[in-house]
Copies of this chain bind each other. A is one copy, B any other.
Amino acid sequence: VSSGFGIDNLPYGAVAEPGGPARLAVRFGDDAVLLEPYEQAAELPPGTLAGPVLNPLLALGRPAWSRLRAALTNAIETGLHEVVPLAELEPRLPVAVGDYVDFYSSLEHATNLGRMFRPDAEPLLPNWRHLPVGYHGRASSVVVSGTPIRRPRGQLPPPEPGQHPRFGPTQRLDIELELGFVTGPGNPLGTPIPAAEAADHVFGFVLVNDWSARDIQRWEYVPLGPFLGKSFATSISPWIVPLEALKPHRVPARPQDPEPLGYLRTAGDWALDIDLEVELNGKTVSRTNAKDLYWTFPQQLAHATVNGTNVRPGDLYASGTISGAERGTQGSLIELYEGSRFLEDGDTVVLRGGSGDRISFGEVTGTIAPP
């Protein structure tokens, strides 16, 4: 089987014959194992696995997820599973995304961007080490890997302060290498998810490319945050790697200073040792790892719900750009090339992730189409 898509992984997705309806599956090697025949063995309510999206399965929670994973593992190990070659299928968006939240949890990325966007101030704002800064992105334009990315038009900053903005296609089209989690059952409005329970609400992880138009973003983002500079498209990898499969790849998170407030404290190892890389037109331009993110995913979910807002099955929470401190470990072009290289029409970006030969996230790809 393809490296990283063996019995230890079994990530979930949706696939279709070209033009056909989406069917739910796990990936095993270079094949899809369709889920629907396992509904009864996993004791799931009828229709849970009928597709086209995983949301009904996500709503059931971890005991149901574990039963299904056990049923699939058993069938595959005993060779009783039927497969469809992925070569005959196309990936579809595996979840209907309710709300999409994007964090900003890499210390190195926040420092780098702060320096570029606010050159005359402290790069890291006073709140950054106290809470996982985040904002709501657009859910409608979350697309599956392979979807072409049309260069957005919009208002570009005035050439000089006080002058008028210009209108046109972005000249500073960028990527953001991120990891995102997809939620399970969620909580009723008014009842926060404690950090200690956050992992029970996390079904699994995908790679995220949070495409960004830096010029549009720079002009529009004060005071209410990014809007059109981000909302034109966000690509995710087709296969959701279950948190259960990531257990051997959890490691201690980096120290936090100052110690966060009580609702953000967790016990256990919640950083993810996932190697990541960015490929631009066939050439690897960045290699990094998710384990150095400052804020962990249970902290992110505990923070995002501390005011009582409700999470629904299929929400997407992305980490923010994952950047290391060294040259060649940053997750965006603006950091890698310090503003001298952005995406041209026809450029293809591939993000990859995995851990040795046990876990692969596959890839999320996108090619820039003209405006």
Contact = CB atoms under 8 A, between A and B. Distances in A.
Interface string A300-329: 000110111111100100000000000000
Interface in A270-300: none
Identical copies of this chain, number: 2
Nearest to A155: B131
B310 A140 contact: yes
A342 interface: no
A224 B312 contact: no
A30 interface: no
Given A153-B192, A228-B307, 15 more contacts: A126-B162, A127-B165, A127-B220, A127-B222, A130-B155, A131-B155, A135-B135, A139-B139, A140-B315, A141-B310, A150-B189, A153-B307, A221-B224, A223-B225, A232-B309
A258 interface: yes
A143 interface: yes
Q: How large is the interface on A (under 10, 10 to 19, 20 to 34, 35 or more residues)?
A: 35 or more
A307 B225 contact: no
A143 B258 CA distance: 37
A280 to B, nearest CB: 22
Contacts of A233: 189, 309
A117 interface: yes
A231 B305 CA distance: 9
Given A165-B261, A224-B226, A138 B136 contact: yes
